[in-house]
Amino acid sequence: MLKLYIGNKNYSSWSMRPWVLLKQAGIAFEEVKLRFDSLDAGSDFRRAIADISPAGKVPVLVDGDLTVWDSLAIAEYLAERFPEKQLWPADAGARARARSVCAEMHAGFTALRSHCGMNIEAALPDAGARLWREQPAVRADVERIARLWQDLLTGHEDRLLFGHFTIADAFFAPVCMRLVTYALPVPDDITAYVRRVQALPGVAAWMADALAEHDFRPFQEPYRSAP
C-alpha cells in the first residue's frame, strides 16, 4: 500500500494537496503524520523526516522501494500510476493548462503563502483585513487567483476548475482554506467555488481531522498567542 508522510493537518498546506488528491480519488493509502514540534535542525520532526526523504520536508510518498517527495512530483506520479482516475484532464490542451496553473501555484503566490499561513481551526478576519490594507502583494496574489479561477470556471461556474475533480483543485484547496481563515475579499463566484471545494469529501475529511487535532504550535502562529 502507498504510504504518505504528512505534517500537522491544521498547518501543512503542502501535505494537504496529495492527501486530498488520494482521498478524493479513492486511492488507498496509509497516512503517517509527523508532528511539527519545530522546523529547526535537530527537532524531532527534522530527525524523523531525515530518515525518509533527502529533502527533509513533507509530504513524502513511499510506494514500495520508491520514495517520491515534493507535492507536484507526487501528483504526477499518482496520475501515471492510476490513469483510470483521470487526475489530469483528458483533453491535451486542458491538461497543459492544468499543469500550468499547478506549476504557478507551486512556485508562486509567495506573499499570500508567507503572510497568510494555512490555519484551518483559526478565524483571523482582523489579521486578514490588516494584511489586505498593508500588503499590496497579498492583494495582487488574491486578485490573480480570482482571475485565474474565473477564467477556468467560465462555462461551468457550478463545477470545479476543469469540470471534474483534478490535481488543480487539490493544489488550490489550501488557498481556499486561507481565503476563509483570513476572510479575504473575493467575488461571489470565487466564494461559491471555495464552498464547493470545502464540500468535497476528501477536503471535508482533511478539515475535520485538522479541527480535531487541537495541537497549537506557537511557531506556526504569527497572529495568535493561544487557540
Residues of the chain with pLDDT > 70, as a percent, come to 100
Residue 221 lies in a domain: no
* Residues 16 and 34 reside in one and the same domain: yes
> Into how many domains does the chain fold?
2
* Residues 46 and 15 reside in one and the same domain: yes
Q: Give the containing element (helix H, strand E) for 33.
A: strand 29-33
Question: Per residue in 130-148, is it b (16+ CB within 10 Å) or e — as a string?
Answer: ebbeebeebbebbeebbeb
Say if residue 46 is exposed, middle or buried (CB neighbours under 10 Å; 0-12, 13-18, 19+).
middle
Query: Cα–Cα–Cα angle for 54, 56, 60, nearest 5°?
Result: 80
Q: What is the DSSP string of 206-219?
A: HHHHHHHH----GG
- Higher-pLDDT residue of 227, 99: 99
List pLDDT tens digits, range 82-118.
Answer: 999 999 999 999 999 999 999 999 999 999 999 999 9
**Boundary of a domain, candidates 36, 53, 85:** 85
* Residues 76 and 172 reside in one and the same domain: no
* Residues 169 and 100 reside in one and the same domain: yes
Q: How far apart are CA 46 and CA 48, in angstroms?
A: 5
Those residues with Cβ within 8 angstroms of residue 111's Cβ, 6 or more apart along the chain or in another chain: 135, 137, 138, 140, 141
Helix (H, G, I), strand (E, B) or coil at 29: strand
* Residues 63 and 115 reside in one and the same domain: no
* Residues 36 and 142 reside in one and the same domain: no
Residue 219 lies in a domain: no
Q: What is the pLDDT of residue 39?
A: 86
Q: What is the pLDDT of residue 41?
A: 87
* Residues 81 and 122 reside in one and the same domain: no
Q: What is the DSSP string of 153-170?
A: HTT-TTSBTBBB--HHHH
What is the strand order of the sheet 60-63 is part of? 29-33, 2-6, 60-63, 66-69
**Boundary of a domain, candidates 35, 61, 85:** 85
Residues of the chain with pLDDT > 90, as a percent, come to 95
Say if residue 27 is exposed, middle or buried (CB neighbours under 10 Å; 0-12, 13-18, 19+).
middle
Residue 126 lies in a domain: yes
**Mean of the per-residue pLDDT values of the chain:** 97
* Residues 190 and 112 reside in one and the same domain: yes
* Residues 103 and 202 reside in one and the same domain: yes
List pLDDT tens digits, range 154-211.
Answer: 987 789 999 999 999 999 999 999 999 999 999 999 999 999 999 999 999 999 999 9
Residue 214 lies in a domain: no
Residue 223 lies in a domain: no
- Domain carrying residue 67: 2-85
Nearest in space to 127 (alpha carbons), one of 12, 224, 210:
224
CATH number of the domain residue 48 falls in:
3.40.30.10
Residue 218 lies in a domain: no
* Residues 99 and 201 reside in one and the same domain: yes
Adjacent-strand bridge partners of 66: 63
* Residues 9 and 107 reside in one and the same domain: no
Residue 220 lies in a domain: no
**Looking at the predicted structure, is the pLDDT value of residue 10 above 90?**
yes
* Residues 22 and 104 reside in one and the same domain: no
Q: How far apart are CA 88 and CA 121, in angstroms?
A: 30
**Looking at the predicted structure, is the pLDDT value of residue 45 above 90?**
yes
CATH number of the domain residue 186 falls in:
1.20.1050.10
